[in-house]
Amino acid sequence: MHETSEQSQHMSDRQALLQVQNLETVFPTRRGLVRAVAGVSLTLHASEILGIVGESGCGKSVTLLSILRLISSPGRIRGGQIIFRGRDLLTLSAREMRHVRGKDIAMVFQDPLSTLNPAFPVGEQIRESLHIHGISSAEPHASPQPRGWTLRRARATSEEERVLRLMSEVGIASPMDRYREYPHQFSGGMQQRALIAIALACEPKVLLADEPTTSLDVTIQAQIMDLLRRINREHGTAVVLVTHNLDLAAEFCQRIVVMYAGRLVEMGTVEQVIESPRHPYTRGLLTCIPRISAERRRIQPIPGAVPDLAAVPPGCAFAPRCSNARPACQTGSIPLFEMETGHRVRCLDGGRDGRQPDGTSNAAPPQQSSE
């Protein structure tokens, strides 16, 4: 791949920015306790792009919301740790957590129109995001406590310039004209760009993107992904991309995490996961992507359906749909096996030629010795 050199460069300065350990998020329902996230551990390195892939309801979005601690009641985070720059986010006070949201960890959503406030022009919304965390007053050239009308005016103008810069950075054409337009006057792609501008306003360390292109058409999708990649390169913002589109993740991410029924089933670099998938679910996902080619190939759907999260079978959650399932798959918990550096699979098949199970800590430890 053409990005190999860049990737190895990323690997060499691996530094855990965000570590999720044994995260468990549950929702009590009438049918029982739904474990939407059942013990997920993953590591996000500084300025990398990590993809979380899986079907609807596999817990990928809930994982993101858990990181921001925005699980709405009656759902709750039952266990685990979320270490961000040395602090466990789960132990922060509500007030401290508010300072993390938006400032350190920002998020971009699936449906941009409903995410923008319909009452205000887009430019003002971007500008407002500068105020939430007092970013604009922290600027060296702006007076921290502007007094009087003219000074305030000056500060407003410098902020407006900043907003215009942000708007042109995310590729909103003629930002001067669009500053005062309302969200509904923007096209879907432009709305998403505006949202990215809002997310970027505070220069976050981590950008969580929850299916940011699902509601957009394919050409716009590519533009938005390019934009996210550029932001990642130029600002060093680590990006977590949640998507059900394995193709998209393969093209865009450096590492991929595959989730199934609230569990992490496979993780590794793009090459490891896409070119030599070890988990039958990952393989299934790859064979059911339709391709445009001369030969007409039937796409192969994965038989069966996603298990009811309130009643996930013991053992491997994928076993009922797996063609290689053995009796051993249906008992006990399946550990993550390390196939090669960084490539881990939660499958007993992987255990045959993989290294010894790593039951306690599933987070990827820094593998600097092997580089």
Partner 1 sequence: MTARATYWGKAWRIRLRLWRRGFAEFGYALWQRPVVLLGGIVVLAFLLAALLADQITIHNPMRGSLLLRFEPPAWQAGGKWAYPLGTDDQGRDLLTRIIFGTRVSLAVGLLTVGISVGVGTVLGAAAGYYRGWLDELLSRFADLLLAFPFLIFAIGVMAFLGPGFPNLVMALAFKGWVEFFRLARGEMLAERAKEYVFAARVAGQGDVAIIASEILPNIIQSIFVLGTLRLGYMIIMEASLSFIGLGIQPPTPAWGSMVASGRDYMLRAWWVATFPGLAILLLVMAINVFGEGLRDILDPRLKIE
- Chain residues binding partner 1 by CB under 8 A are 68, 70, 98-103, 106-107, 109, 111, 114-121, 124, 127-129, 131-134, 137, 145, 184, 195, 198
Which structure tokens are listed for 70?
A: 């925005």
Provide the minimum distance between the beta carbon of 123 and partner 1 in the complex, in angstroms, as a whole number: 10
What would the DSSP string read from start to end of 228-283? Answer: HHHHHHHH--EEEEEES-HHHHHHH-SEEEEEETTEEEEEEEHIIIIIS--SHHHH
What would the DSSP string read from start to end of 317-364? Answer: TTGGG-TT--GGGGSSPPPPEEEETTEEE--HHHHHHS-----S--SP
Question: Toward partner 1, which CB reaches closer, 108 or 345?
Answer: 108
Provide the minimum distance between the beta carbon of 103 and partner 1 in the complex, in angstroms, as a whole number: 6
Question: Toward partner 1, which CB reaches closer, 78 or 98?
Answer: 98
Provide the minimum distance between the beta carbon of 270 and partner 1 in the complex, in angstroms, as a whole number: 28
Which letter does DSSP use for residue 101 in this model? Answer: B
- 243 vs 250: CA distance, rounded Å: 11
Question: Toward partner 1, which CB reaches closer, 119 or 292?
Answer: 119
- 314 vs 151: CA distance, rounded Å: 65
Question: Toward partner 1, which CB reaches closer, 103 or 279?
Answer: 103
Provide the minimum distance between the beta carbon of 190 and partner 1 in the complex, in angstroms, as a whole number: 16
Provide the minimum distance between the beta carbon of 233 and partner 1 in the complex, in angstroms, as a whole number: 24
Which structure tokens are listed for 342?
A: 């960084």
Degrees to nearest 5, angle at CA 222 with 186 and 163? 45
Give the distance from CA 116 to its chain's centroid: 20
Provide the minimum distance between the beta carbon of 216 and partner 1 in the complex, in angstroms, as a whole number: 16
Question: Toward partner 1, which CB reaches closer, 106 or 270?
Answer: 106
- 88 vs 86: CA distance, rounded Å: 7
Provide the minimum distance between the beta carbon of 115 and partner 1 in the complex, in angstroms, as a whole number: 5
CA 178 vs CA 105, 166, 174, 182: distances in Å: 27, 12, 7, 8
Provide the minimum distance between the beta carbon of 135 and partner 1 in the complex, in angstroms, as a whole number: 10
CB 48 within 8 A of CB 12: no
Question: Toward partner 1, which CB reaches closer, 181 or 271?
Answer: 181
Q: Residue 218, class by beta-carbon neighbours within 10 Å (0-12 exposed, 13-18 middle, 19+ buried)?
A: exposed
- For β-strands 238-243 and 206-210, DSSP reports them as parallel
- For β-strands 49-53 and 238-243, DSSP reports them as parallel
End-to-end CA distance of the chain: 18
Provide the minimum distance between the beta carbon of 182 and partner 1 in the complex, in angstroms, as a whole number: 10
Question: Toward partner 1, which CB reaches closer, 133 or 255?
Answer: 133
Question: Toward partner 1, which CB reaches closer, 134 or 236?
Answer: 134
Question: Toward partner 1, which CB reaches closer, 71 or 83?
Answer: 71
Q: Which of 321, 312, 263 is nearest to 60 (CA)?
A: 263
